[in-house]
Structure 1
Amino acid sequence: MKKKFIYLMAILSVTFSCGDEFSDTPAIGALSDDALANPQGVDLLLTGAYGMLDGWRSNNKGNQFAVGGDNWWCDVISDDAHKGSTDGDQIELYQIETFDWQTANDYFRAKFTALYAGVNRANAVLSVINGIDRDALLPADAAAITGQEAEARFLRGHYYFELTKMYGNVSIVSVENYEALEFNQPNSGPAWEQIESDFQFAIENLPATRAEQPDPGRPTAFVARAYMGKAHLYQGDWANALTELNAVINSGEFALNAEYLDNFNAAGENGPESVFAIQYAADTGQSFNGNIGGTLNFPGGGPFGSCCGFYSPTIDLANAFQVDGDGLPLFDTYNDDDFKNDYGINSDEPFEPDTTTPVDPRLDYTVGRRGIDYNGFGEHVGKEWIRAGFNDISGPYLPKKNVYQAEELATNQGAGAWGQQHSGINYNIIRYADVLLMAAEAAVETGDLATALNYVNQVRERAANTSVVQAVDGGGPAANYQVGLYPSFPDANFAREAVRFERRVELGMEGHRLFDLRRWDVADQVISEYVTNETRTIDNFGPKMNAYQPQFDLMPIPLTSIDLSGGILTQNPGY
């Protein structure tokens, strides 16, 4: 009889084959399929499938910092973030940033195996469900099982979506493959058909609204429709993407938070803007429910003794928040001059931040810069909080969205080794502003510029009306914050540029930028220009970078996985 292994805190681990590549641990406790063949048992298995949203399991393969569901390290491949810290710390991530990609790099392997662990956990749920005779159940229990099947298929769709957007050509492991321990399946192409099938089942069988499904960590039908819209968007299926995303927008289930900051603090968790989020939690101990994958991404020093100075916003990203006299973005000229920064200046040397250049207020909720309050911890003092040296390819900035607020220090800080932090702040995989901007993008491509204008301006209007970061001396706003609304989109090219720029300033440092650049087919051009611009300030950045190559539009299939598959998995072109 097949066994399913239930672990402490109801976290599931299943023994896999494929060379034991994905997940192989000894059983601590085991329950038979018969014992699990009821709503309560299935829910235990579902907990394990949800548990892989953060990528963390007891027997991680590859680099543990790459598994996180926020995809922070993928921003390092884009123009949003540097690796941070010293060049020699996490050398495999340094190789990724500099485009010295090796197929055996453990960042690629860790993410790949974590996502397949999620697929297999979802399949474990579906395997048990398939063995249940629903006709023999009470009607309420049968309905509950169908809802749980929809949750499992939603989660499987999520994991396949992440695999496809990262690696492109992936294996489809069916429930039947799972039951037969046939994990070595060919990776002959993207998984879009499977993804759409899973999301469609979820749309048809999940509770429609939050009133019917009040648990914010579980999806509703409209959450599944947001995912379906995103899947269509990634395939360039603009009309169907717009249909699904408009349904989400018109449902009334979601809204923009009044305060932009509430997307990144405890006060706003699971609020109206959160479509689907990883439910992190932490305390003052070493919490394994916190964001363990992001533990490197805090000041390398600073006000709470953190480590390790990774995930540094780029000078390019900070420049993007500069606006014109009407508060509108500088599409083609934002990088002509760098926004004032303290690169190369020590903390004991004088520096005054720019308070006169007009900037979007989202700048100081995204980029931690010297002279400006850092998440309520007081004035960012500059180099003393930056671990990277001036000879490392990192800039003068700190990340802010992933770092809790000072008032949350006792409740959302999980302490790891060497001062590493396990943040308890949720990560929004999809939030409503993202839905609006995806819909705006689809609207542009279908010729509906009026709808695109409306959706972009809704996002900008919130930015214009949100509270702004205050000067540390109590003298009012910390900078000359301005946000204007677009009076019109005169043509499709202008509208397209406006939507794409808005995605960057609204969603910067949230793990989306690389995948936007790839699907717009502009990664080569944008990253080449970024390297040139960044090198004006960080003069050794360009010399350390390799050229972006076409194969980098997909990540390599990990060499270890190919070897352990006996050659059934094949490498992506160009590697």
Structure 2
Amino acid sequence: MKKHTIKVFLIALTTSLFYSCGDELEIINPNRLAADAYYTNEDQAIAAVDAIYNTLIIDGLYQRMTPVIGDGRSDETKSRSPWAFLQQTSNFTVPGTDDAVGWCYEGYYITVNRANQALENIPLIEEMDEDLRGRLLGQAYFLRALAYFNLTNIYDNVPLVLSVPKSEDDFFPSNQEVTQATIYAQVEADLTEAIASLPADYTSVSGADSGHVGRATLGAAQSLMGKLKLYQGDYDTALPYFRTVVESQRYDLAANYQDLFSQDPSVEAANPGRIFWAEFTQSLNSVFNWGGDPSVNWRQFIALAPTYSGADFYDFFPTQFLVDELSSERTVDGNLDPRYAATILSYNEEEGLTQAYGRDYFLDRNLNYIAKYTLANSGGDPFTAGINYHVIRFADVLLMYAECLANTGDIPTAAAQVQRVRDRANLPDREAEFAGYNLTQFMNQLAHERVTELAIEGLRYYDIKRWGWLEDSSRLSQLQANDDEFDTFANGREYQPLPQGELDRNPNLVPNSAN
């Protein structure tokens, strides 16, 4: 958002859980405004949409759990956590009875329910600038699309809730006839609305949102639409969305890769490659945001910092596979790939890697640790880490664009996109070599390029899954060699189980393949 405090109004009926029912619905909370007493003016409409954004920083979303589930199930990291949920998520054995299984589920339905409220009520406000109304509705559609895209990729067949509950029965939605294709179709419909309504940026709009930074833009919606189609293997349809973003000239690669993961607000603001992100702060507020409703007293730090830090919780560490991938190619000057130190914390005097967390190296010099989304390269208090989390960034769009180009027959142009990403890392120019690859060769190279550019950003597992590697015995064997947590993978465990508590409370909810 623009550098102002987002006002969060928590409106009655906004609970994301579908088990509140009966007389409990009649309890009046004096600290909350009832829906029928709200949505009377522009300011309230803006605040209602801001409340949807606010969910991005809760534990189940980008503060911790959404990235952790993606990273933990990839072959880039291994869990050494004493917390069973993290260990069992990483080795595909987590039971639905573990309460933490529901944190993402509950969090995303908070997003969905707040978006549904905005979509139902903002059109009813009588005196309101119509352009502003359209932009706010476009943002609500985008955020609901993002929530459902993540929900179905984490849990598969989740309930599709598109309106605010009006009766007790509405709190028990069914997923029995819902498939991932159903969810994807709704995501597409929402993004179509978003694309029609969102501006390219907020510097040229007039209205109360003029100049705001961090709101969903046209580029964000187009990028997510391309990703949606890519995840369905529809390269032809995905291609023009990515091409439009790439050719818009609105985004570029940051000159310094490590700056992508800085908590310095001025460095973050200068990053030309950020398309959509969850914004965290270095505030010293007293309440740690581990759960519950976001409030003005929340610290709003990114909890990945202590979770991934070798000096703090140390719940995960990089696999040797990831270390080898990032070490496999030297720059044109003969140096280590600069993305290595931004991603992995190691001690190597010959490479100039001799510090940790802003001081002389003090950890076990024989081990490797995670640097990305921690303060390993700067130092500071991890419990006030304000690193913004990249939900969509330009380098990912370039590589997804390259994948679509290659799979629609244009490997030479695809090679140019890959080399553009490599150029930022000062790696040798191999564009001509890649342009001569067949599709299999190019996709193998692209898998490597995605690891080195996007490691520990919650994406690798979903690449593995959508490429069909979990169903390919030879690919699965390679994954097991990379990370022995895949030894306990079995068909049906591609998703997190639906929370058993939700299944117990909702008689219309059916399990997924992982339950």
TM-score range, shorter chain: 0.7 to 0.9
Change (3 A) 1:325 1:310: closer
Contact 1:10 1:48 in 2 (8 A): yes
Alignment partners' CA distance in 1, 2:345 and 2:111? 34
Residue deviations 1:464-511, cap 9 Å, x none? 1xxxxxxxxxxxxxxxxx544332332111111121211111000111
TM-score normalised by the chain length of structure 1: 0.76
Q: Which runs of 5+ in 1 are unaligned?
A: 1-6, 57-63, 302-306, 328-355, 385-394, 414-419, 465-481, 535-541
Alignment partners' CA distance in 2, 1:127 and 1:251? 32
Alignment of 1:484-563 (within 5 A): 484-489=429-434, 490=436, 491-523=438-470, 525-526=474-475, 528-533=477-482, 542=484, 546-563=487-504
Contact 1:196 1:228 in 2 (8 A): yes
Q: Shift in Å at residue 363 of structure 1?
A: 1.3
Check if 1:40 corresponds to 2:43. Answer: yes
Alignment of 1:105-184 (within 5 A): 105-133=98-126, 137=127, 141-175=129-163, 177-180=164-167, 182-184=170-172
Alignment partners' CA distance in 2, 1:501 and 1:108? 31
Check if 1:224 corresponds to 2:229. Answer: no
Alignment partners' CA distance in 1, 2:68 and 2:220? 23
Q: In structure 2, what residue type is equivalent to 1:498?
A: Q
Partner of 2:279: 279
Q: Which runs of 5+ in 2 are unaligned?
A: 205-209, 289-297
Residue deviations 1:228-273, cap 9 Å, x none? 1111111111111111010001111111111111111124314210
Change (3 A) 1:560 1:222: same
3-state SS of 1:269 partner:
helix
Pick from 361, 364, 369: which aligns with 1:383?
Answer: 364
Partner of 2:339: 362
Identical columns (%): 26
Check if 1:445 corresponds to 2:407. Answer: yes
Partner of 2:268: 269
Q: In structure 1, what residue type is equivalent to 2:339?
A: R
Alignment of 1:65-76 (within 5 A): 68=64, 71-76=67-72
Contact 2:283 2:299 in 1 (8 A): no
Alignment partners' CA distance in 1, 2:331 and 2:143? 43
Alignment partners' CA distance in 2, 1:15 and 1:43? 20
Q: In structure 1, what residue type is equivalent to 2:33?
A: A
Pick from 429, 432, 455: which aligns with 2:417?
Answer: 455
Check if 1:421 corresponds to 2:362. Answer: no
Contact 1:84 1:309 in 2 (8 A): yes
Alignment partners' CA distance in 1, 2:300 and 2:428? 34
Residue deviations 1:532-571, cap 9 Å, x none? 355xxxxxxx5x87421121222221211111111x1211
Contact 1:70 1:427 in 2 (8 A): no
Q: In structure 1, what residue type is equivalent to 2:267?
A: G
Pick from 317, 320, 323: which aligns with 2:322?
Answer: 317
Number of positions where the alignment pairs a residue of Structure 1 with one of Structure 2: 474
Residue deviations 1:176-220, cap 9 Å, x none? x53446132222112111101111111111112353363221011
Alignment partners' CA distance in 2, 1:278 and 1:27? 30
Alignment partners' CA distance in 1, 2:414 and 2:397? 12
Alignment of 1:271-350 (within 5 A): 271-284=271-284, 286=286, 288-294=298-304, 296-301=306-311, 307-323=312-328
Partner of 1:417: none
Alignment partners' CA distance in 2, 1:17 and 1:283? 29
Contact 2:302 2:387 in 1 (8 A): no
Q: Shift in Å at residue 48 of structure 1?
A: 1.2
Alignment partners' CA distance in 2, 1:39 and 1:217? 19
3-state SS of 1:172 partner:
coil
Higher helix share: 2
Alignment partners' CA distance in 2, 1:369 and 1:527? 28
Residue deviations 1:423-446, cap 9 Å, x none? 211011010000000111111111
Alignment partners' CA distance in 2, 1:370 and 1:408? 16
Contact 2:65 2:104 in 1 (8 A): no
Residue deviations 1:298-350, cap 9 Å, x none? 5354xxxxx211221111110112335797xxxxxxxxxxxxxxxxxxxxxxx
Q: In structure 2, what residue type is equivalent to 1:513?
A: R
Check if 1:98 corresponds to 2:101. Answer: no
Give me the CA root mean square deviation. Answer: 3.0
Alignment partners' CA distance in 2, 1:162 and 1:34? 32
Q: In structure 2, what residue type is equivalent to 1:242?
A: L
Check if 1:77 corresponds to 2:18. Answer: no
Contact 1:12 1:47 in 2 (8 A): no
Q: Shift in Å at residue 96 of structure 1?
A: 1.9
Change (3 A) 1:527 1:37: farther
Q: Shift in Å at residue 281 of structure 1?
A: 0.6
Contact 1:54 1:278 in 2 (8 A): yes
Residue deviations 1:511-536, cap 9 Å, x none? 111111111111365554343355xx
Partner of 1:336: none
Q: In structure 2, what residue type is equivalent to 1:189?
A: T
- More contact order relative to length (CA 8 Å, sep ≥ 6): 2
Alignment partners' CA distance in 2, 1:571 and 1:174? 21
3-state SS of 1:36 partner:
coil
3-state SS of 1:108 partner:
helix
Alignment partners' CA distance in 2, 1:358 and 1:324? 9
Check if 1:211 corresponds to 2:203. Answer: yes
Contact 1:38 1:145 in 2 (8 A): no
Q: In structure 2, what residue type is equivalent to 1:193?
A: A
Partner of 1:20: 20
Partner of 2:55: 52
3-state SS of 2:425 partner:
helix
Change (3 A) 1:55 1:20: farther
Alignment partners' CA distance in 2, 1:527 and 1:422? 39
3-state SS of 2:272 partner:
coil
Contact 1:65 1:294 in 2 (8 A): no
Q: Shift in Å at residue 67 of structure 1?
A: 6.4
Contact 1:562 1:571 in 2 (8 A): yes
Partner of 2:295: none
Contact 2:155 2:496 in 1 (8 A): yes
Change (3 A) 1:90 1:324: closer
Contact 1:78 1:527 in 2 (8 A): no
Contact 1:443 1:451 in 2 (8 A): yes
3-state SS of 2:433 partner:
coil
Change (3 A) 1:322 1:200: same
Partner of 1:573: 513
